[in-house]
């Protein structure tokens, strides 16, 4: 059981709930992918890349939640973080990149959508278009992986994280989010043994996972 910290950041009114049927379908896909029950294909990658290309222009104004409470709470209470590079997965338009840079210094923003990365030009100085199932990083070269509302590719995350590295798993809308996975599901999918600390914050939740062996 993961240590659950008490909530200190309240959940405000006006939570932007996604459409029920769409969110449920995405959650099922995310769980099946993480657990290895569904393969990641070039067709799926192409579909999602095209979808987020279409959403890029209106993302900040219409679709972003506008709440970074889970990220700030995770950085404040998620334990000590190792020095080194932070890999930001699913970085989108770079809304969270400045916060990560303030905490870790070097942040490499990764996204599948070229247009999302173009819109992040003023926020994310180091941007790479890549598929998170095959990250352009050497083995054990990354100190922190920040995955905010992101699909989980457990083998690849375990490969690039340094032995003392930390996975920040953040769901902006908590269990209502379309890609929600609990910390237990994340830890079970990752190879090896992992421990985590977690909490609810604002509209969402976060977990900081560390490898035991």
Please tell me the number of Cα atoms within 13 Å of 9 on its side-chain side.
Answer: 19
pLDDT in tens, 45-104: 999 999 999 999 888 887 667 689 999 999 999 999 999 999 999 999 999 999 999 999
The mean pLDDT value for 188-197 works out to 96
The per-residue DSSP string of 182-194 comes to -HHHHHHHSSS-E
Q: At residue 120, does pLDDT exceed 60? A: yes
Residue 213 binned pLDDT confidence (cut-offs 50, 70, 90): confident
What is the pLDDT, as a whole number, of residue 145? 98
What is the pLDDT, as a whole number, of residue 18? 85
The mean pLDDT value for 21-25 works out to 92
Residue-averaged pLDDT of the chain: 94
What is the pLDDT, as a whole number, of residue 66? 65
pLDDT in tens, 69-79: 999 999 999 99
Q: What is the pTM of this model?
A: 0.94
Residue 1 binned pLDDT confidence (cut-offs 50, 70, 90): low
Question: The sheet that has 204-211: what strands, in order across it?
Answer: 127-129, 107-111, 86-89, 142-148, 161-171, 204-211, 194-201
> How are beta strands 204-211 and 161-171 bridged, if at all?
antiparallel
**C-alpha distances in angstroms, 82 versus 92, 143, 167, 180, 187?**
24, 6, 11, 26, 19
What is the pLDDT, as a whole number, of residue 135? 97
What is the pLDDT, as a whole number, of residue 62? 75
């Amino acid at each position: 059981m993961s240590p659950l910290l008490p909530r200190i950041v309240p959940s405000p009114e006006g939570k932007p709930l996604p459409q029920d049927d769409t969110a449920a379908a995405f959650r099922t896909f995310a769980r099946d992918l993480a657990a290895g029950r569904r393969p990641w294909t070039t067709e799926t990658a192409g579909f999602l890349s095209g979808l987020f290309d279409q959403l890029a222009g209106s993302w900040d104004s219409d679709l972003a939640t506008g709440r970074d409470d889970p990220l700030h709470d995770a950085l404040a209470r998620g334990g000590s973080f190792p020095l080194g590079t932070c890999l930001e997965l699913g970085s989108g338009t770079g809304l969270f990149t400045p916060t990560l840079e303030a905490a870790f210094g070097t942040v490499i923003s990764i996204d599948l959508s070229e247009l999302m990365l173009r819109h992040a030009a003023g926020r994310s100085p180091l941007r790479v278009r890549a598929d998170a199932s095959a990250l352009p990083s050497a083995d054990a070269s990354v100190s922190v992986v920040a995955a905010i509302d992101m699909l989980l590719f457990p083998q690849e995350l375990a490969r690039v994280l340094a032995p003392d590295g930390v996975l920040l798993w953040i769901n902006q809308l908590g269990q209502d989010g379309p890609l929600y996975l609990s910390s237990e599901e994340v830890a079970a999918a990752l190879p090896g043994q992992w421990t985590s600390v977690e909490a609810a914050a604002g509209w969402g939740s976060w977990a900081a996972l560390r490898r035991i062996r």
